[in-house]
DNA sequence: TAAACATTTCGATGAATATAGAAATGTTAT
DNA sequence: ATAACATTTCTATATTCATCGAAATGTTTA
């Protein structure tokens, strides 16, 4: 039950839902997400560690960047049950649409320097 | 998005998950749930108001008792997506099984007086 | 090697939350 | 009516959590 609670806690936060919805568009580094969210880098990094600890996302190091991705290949029934639902949900949300729009022009080589 | 966050927050608590899994067995009054959970009445009542506010359950007054039930007829896509998943999940969880066992002998006319 | 950069970790702070007990509300039964 | 009972609301407390800035870590580039 603890793993499910951890997942629901991770999902019960606006910033983290916005992160997940952005990652369902494409993989992102921390600075790209920070730009869209308008939060401190350390805050975003903390949110990412909570999502990762819950098993919802994973990260791969790419030089000085860290790429985060949705964990669609999870072996957890909780995760594989929830992620598809989330991909249908919130697509008409104003904030989520604004984030998606911003993402179109947010690339690490321009943003993070 | 706020309604979804409210739902995930409601689901991200052990006591409230136990309550939902009990209510998926049968409708219950507060004192029956209090007995199984081992929490103060006011605490359980508070949990129930959070679940109700999220739209996951509803209540019907029955004399001096209040019967709580799972809101399977919800018009929220979030609720109708999540409740079926939850009915498959946690059935092998030790705590959930113990709660179900206790429920078999927990009836308001014997417990609450 | 040294400077620049992306990210994480640490420390502090204010807000949200789970909990319990007491008081309040409303119903039933004597 | 009054006592007993189920539940909710109120008040207080201890813990958890979101957030930020600063320091630490590790990589790239000049």
In a domain, A113, yes or no: no
> Among all strands, which nt has the closest C1' to A43 (CA)?
D19
Chain B: closest CA distance from residue A5 (Å): 5
pLDDT, tens digit, 9 for 90 and up, residues A51-92: 999 999 999 999 999 999 999 999 999 999 999 999 999 999
Instruction: Name which of B24, B15, B33 is nearest B108 in CA terms.
Output: B33
- On whether residue B23 sits in a domain, the answer given is yes
pLDDT of residue A107: 75
Strand D lies under 7 A from the Cβ of residue B108: yes
pLDDT at A111: 72
Q: What is the DSSP letter of A91?
A: T
H helical segments located in chain B: 2-11, 14-23, 30-37, 41-53, 77-88, 94-103, 108-111
Measuring CA to CA, which residue among B64, B74, B69 is closest to residue B112? B64
What is the predicted pLDDT for the residue at A113? 57
Residue B111 lies in a domain: no
Residue in B4, B11, B14 nearest the CB of A89: B4
Residue A30 has pLDDT above 70, yes or no: yes
* Distance separating alpha carbons of residues A112 and B106, to the nearest angstrom: 60
Is residue A99 within 8 Å of A24, Cβ to Cβ?
A: no
A41 within a domain of the structure (yes/no):
yes
Give domain status of residue B110, yes or no: no
- Across A19-25, average pLDDT: 98
Whether residue B50 lies inside any domain: the answer is yes
CATH of the domain at A73: 1.10.10.10
Classify residue A21: in a domain, yes or no: yes
Residue A48 sits in which domain range? 2-108
CA of B34 to C1' of D11 (A): 21
**Taking CB atoms and an 8 Å cutoff, what residues of chain B touch A1?**
14, 17, 90, 93, 95-96
Q: Of the candidates B109, B64, B84, B82, which has an alpha carbon nearest to the alpha carbon of residue B3?
A: B82
pLDDT at B113: 55
Number of compact structural domains in chain B: 1
Nucleotides of C under 7 A from a protein CB: 4-11, 17-23, 26-28
Q: Does A75 touch chain B (CB under 8 A)?
A: no
């Amino acid at each position: 039950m603890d793993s499910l609670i951890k997942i629901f806690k991770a999902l019960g936060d606006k910033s983290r839902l916005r992160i997940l919805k952005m990652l369902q568009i494409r993989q992102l580094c921390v600075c790209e997400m920070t730009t869209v969210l308008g939060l401190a880098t350390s805050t975003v990094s903390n949110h990412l560690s909570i999502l990762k600890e819950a098993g919802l996302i994973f990260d791969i190091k790419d030089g000085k960047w860290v790429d985060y991705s949705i964990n669609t290949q999870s072996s957890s029934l909780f995760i594989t049950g929830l992620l598809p639902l989330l991909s249908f949900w919130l697509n008409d949300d104003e904030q989520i649409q604004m984030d998606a729009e911003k993402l179109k022009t947010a690339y690490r080589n321009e943003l993070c320097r």
